[in-house]
Chain A
Amino acid sequence: MSEEEKKEENVRVGIFVCHCGSNIGGLIDCHKLAEESKELPFVAHAEDNLYTCSETGLAAIKKAIEEHNLNRVVVASCTPRTHEPLFRECISEAGLNPYLFNFVNIRDQCTWVHMKHAQEAYDKAKDLIKMGAAKAVKLEPLEMIMVNITPAAMVIGGGVAGMSAALSLSRQGFKTYLVEKEDKLGGRLNSLYKLFPYDIDASEFIGNIISNVQNAKNLEILTSSQVINIEGFVGNFEVEVEHNGTINTFEIGAIIVAVGSSILDPTGLFGYDGNKRITQFELESKLKNNKINQKDIIMIQCVGSRIEERPYCSSVCCMTALKNALNIKDQNPEAHITILFRDLYTPGTEYEEYYRKAREQGVLFVKYDPEKMPVIEETQVKVFNEYINTEMTIPYDLLVLSTPLVANDDNKELAQMLKVPLEANKFFLEAHVKLRPNDFATDGVYIGGSAKWPVDITESISQGYAAASRASTILSHDTIEVEGATSCLPEYNKSLCTGCEVCVKVCPFNAIIKNEDDEIEIIEALCKGCGVCAATCTNQALVIRHFTDDQIMSEIFAYGGE
């Protein structure tokens, strides 16, 4: 008898078939399923329960574990999505390792989808149980992995998003480092005049936030500093920061990316000359320093955005144009301002009011068709107005181009250091656009503000706070527990590994590295057990715990024979 067979000889599987009220029991005979399961290899006990998940059902499992000396438990029921944690906890309370549990889905994937075919559903459920029991035989105990957490955060980027994140973390009591590559905090807001839609001075607003940051406890400001290297993983990052030629290393538990965005270089667009034809940003600095004396002003929206090369809407330009138009009107009510637009983007309550205000104050809006772009001449713009089916000629002495926010050129380097992805326009790509807007797929790294996508100040601030919250869910703990069903390169398989590094490349969580000894190493704290590496490994050197080839093949053989 081989070592393997000896091990299996002591395996005692218990099977619990759940009626789930009428959800399963209403279509197929659960009692018969349980009785037939008793014939399966290594099965020491089988029973059916009206509701295995109820207190009565859970008590029945515990009792059977004791009475029949079970060391593997299979529940054939609803879905592991909602109920696997419950049953794992149950067998754990009865003294078994929680990974010695196997879930067989005979409701969602059987009686529900085959509700008109009772016999076929029965046969399928029987097969599924047979397979599940075969896998259970091969299950091995696993331990959850504990990771220590350094309770310190680093926020990269000292703009309004980064400062909001840093302030919140420091107020929550975490040591926080705020890294800014410029010599002062404030970011983009330093160069703005007023802030829409409130007519508030940008410098005053950002000044207050900077002063809060400077006075905050636990918050260390590192200006003229740049992150040059990041090693480690969630809870245990080592970040190297360069400042005036010296390099300091920081131990960090969580990192927040808040590097903001850049402004498109408008050279070559609509006759841009930086003088008579300028960008909205240049207009802002003019407004900040002097009065605008020009009488005829034209603004053009979507300059360099919503085009093939840059298909996105930069979302802040319409409001910026309205703001600057209103500010000019404020200084000079006689000014004629025409905004050439495609779709006015003023969502929500206050922005829409702002749009109305601009209309009421006499700002003129003309829609242009991207197929018939406005033609810029020395002192006039020709634009085809489809509504009146006429080419309009509008004179100007100042032409203002609404150019979009674009991704920073150095996003790529930072992304590589953090091992996080960028999207097609080179903004950072979050874990899930809908439900994880401020996370990365890599644990312990978070994002907020325009580094992810162009957003206004309000959203930059709430996203800064959001990133702080996400980081706090990690930093609040001395240790965190991570899933034990991870990938591994077992000692006995090391000779199979050729070091081709395909696994390193395919891992979506950057959990696989080649270490100093030139060996493939899995950082278990980062591994989610998705199995991509093992499926890709040409020599089958990698093993996914809880989903080993042996375990999966045993299911297949149980179904189709060897």
Chain B
Amino acid sequence: MDIPSKSALIIGGGIAGIQAALDLADMGIQVNMVEKKPCIGGRMAQLDKTFPTNDCSICILAPKLSECYRHHNITLYSYSEVQKVEGSAGNFSAEILKRARFIKEDACINCGLCAEKCPMRVDDEFDRELRKRRAVYMYYLQGVPSVMTIDKEKCLWFTKNACRICEKTCERDAIDFDQQDETIKINNIGSIIVATGYNLIEDINKEVLKNYGYGKFRNVLTALEFERLESASGPQGGHIKRFSDNETPKKIAFLQCIGSRSDRVEKYCSSICCMYTTKEAMIAYEHDNELENYVFYIDMRAGGKGFQSFLKRGENEYNIKYIKSKIAQITIDEKENPIIVYENLDTGEVKQIQVDLVVLATCIVPPQGIDKLAEVLGIELNDYHFIKTPPFISVETSKNGIFTCGCVHEPMDIPRSVAEASGAAARAAEVIRGG
């Protein structure tokens, strides 16, 4: 097959974008991948394990990151954003803003000396602000590209005209305070794939979580925060401790449908929470076999391959008790133990239970910036502001030549995101090859 003259543009470097990029690149098609964050990897990089196999997430993801970075058909623009797109299917052009990271990417080898010496302590976004990082930082340990970034908003040089210790520390002269944002124009793009993933409800609306005590009570966490606590590379080194007293929780309540299936917040089902909750409860139990897990749910949604047996295993081997229920209230006692008042929807009884920790299964929402991106691309969004896809063809958008995959158009799990990514790649290849 001839090498096509048109390339593909992939927006978003999570698992969906990565899979789409690898497929196209392996077909011999040139791929430009744009990732907003300093490193690719997306949400999957933040996860400790993945259901239903409980594979270590980063262990199965890392080889893909490195393959993506090293692939001779993939050009990676990290810390970058698509600002302008023109043209139509088969012949788009795009302008990419590559933000200055103030680090020479080809010189930095992520030795970490600069971060060691940096005096600034900043909330770590990757770890859901559960710990501090420095103003010069690696987005996450196994991140790709494996280079540091200077956070201009926090760096003393940019804020107070002082310091520059990192510059003196770096043995490879990789710090470059004069680096400027760059605008890169890419022509001859045959097709575009949008895979910018998702945010969580707490990223846009913390009010919703307040009803469940989040922000008021230290022992109420979100599921992604809990995921980071379970992770060996997370803020507690994988040893789950309560923030109120550093004690290991013995009773954890997982509350489902936080923000979703709700008249007041989001009407839709977030699709993945029943399963990730079960996984998180299992992992917590693996850390401590005395743990009691309670899952408060409306309907258990476990239709994927091996999911029903996963729930059964949770019940039988990991001490998870599933309670069909509606949560009424959460308070705390004098030891900051959360007390949950709920209606059991099987029996109709109103009951209460005291636990050590509450984990909120917060729902997926469209990614921040989607409205602007949709405008740039000229594609439509649906009522929820997810990307609108035509009936039955979930990888197409309202515009020819622009495809989509993963949670940016609907909440879904990793296998479906990966399948859609390949699906979107196939469709993009059709356009690029003129079919």
* Chain A residues at the B interface, C-beta cutoff of 8 Å: 20-23, 50-51, 53-55, 81-82, 85-86, 151, 168-173, 195, 198, 200, 205, 306, 311-315, 343-349, 351-353, 356, 367, 369, 386-389, 423, 427, 432-438, 448, 452-454, 457-459, 461-470, 472-473, 475-478
Contact = CB atoms under 8 A, between A and B. Distances in A.
Nearest to A446: B422
Contact of B302 (A313, A349, A461): A313
A349 B66 contact: no
A452 B28 contact: no
Contacts of B307: 312-313
Contacts of B324: 367
B335 interface: no
B415 interface: yes
B426 A469 contact: yes
A348 B411 CA distance: 6
Contact of A462 (B269, B305, B411, B420): B420
Contacts of A85: 70
B227 to A, nearest CB: 16
Contacts of A469: 23, 27, 422-423, 425-426, 429
A461 B419 CA distance: 10
A358 B53 CA distance: 35
A195 B391 CA distance: 10
B427 A465 contact: yes
A476 B1 contact: yes
Interface stretch (B149-157, B212-220, B286-294, B345-353): B345-353
Given A349-B410, A438-B419, A469-B422, A461 B393 contact: yes
A423 B304 CA distance: 14
Interface string B397-433: 0000000000000111011101111111111011001
Given A53-B109, A369-B346, 13 more contacts: A21-B113, A51-B111, A55-B106, A169-B426, A311-B308, A345-B303, A349-B410, A349-B411, A434-B55, A462-B395, A469-B426, A472-B429, A476-B27
Contacts of A458: 392-394
Given A311-B308, A435-B418, A168 B267 contact: no
A465 B395 contact: yes
A152 to B, nearest CB: 12
Closest 7 CB pairs between A and B? A21-B111, A171-B435, A315-B303, A465-B423, A466-B422, A469-B426, A473-B26
A469 B405 CA distance: 14
A53 B110 CA distance: 12
Q: Give the most central of A50, A346, A466: most B CB within 10 Å.
A: A466
A81 B64 CA distance: 11
Interface string B297-324: 0011111111111001000000000001
B170 to A, nearest CB: 10
Contacts of B300: 343
A450 to B, nearest CB: 11
A479 to B, nearest CB: 12
B53 to A, nearest CB: 6
B423 A466 contact: yes
Contacts of A473: 23, 26-27
Contacts of B410: 348-349
B261 interface: yes
B419 A462 contact: yes
B120 interface: no
8 contacts: A343-B300, A435-B414, A453-B304, A458-B392, A472-B426, A472-B429, A473-B26, A476-B27
B426 A433 contact: no
A306 B392 contact: no
B168 interface: no
Nearest to A429: B305
B271 interface: yes
Given A458-B392, A469-B425, A434 B346 contact: no
Given A311-B308, A343-B301, A348-B271, A463 B423 contact: yes
Contact of B1 (A151, A346, A468): A151
A253 to B, nearest CB: 11
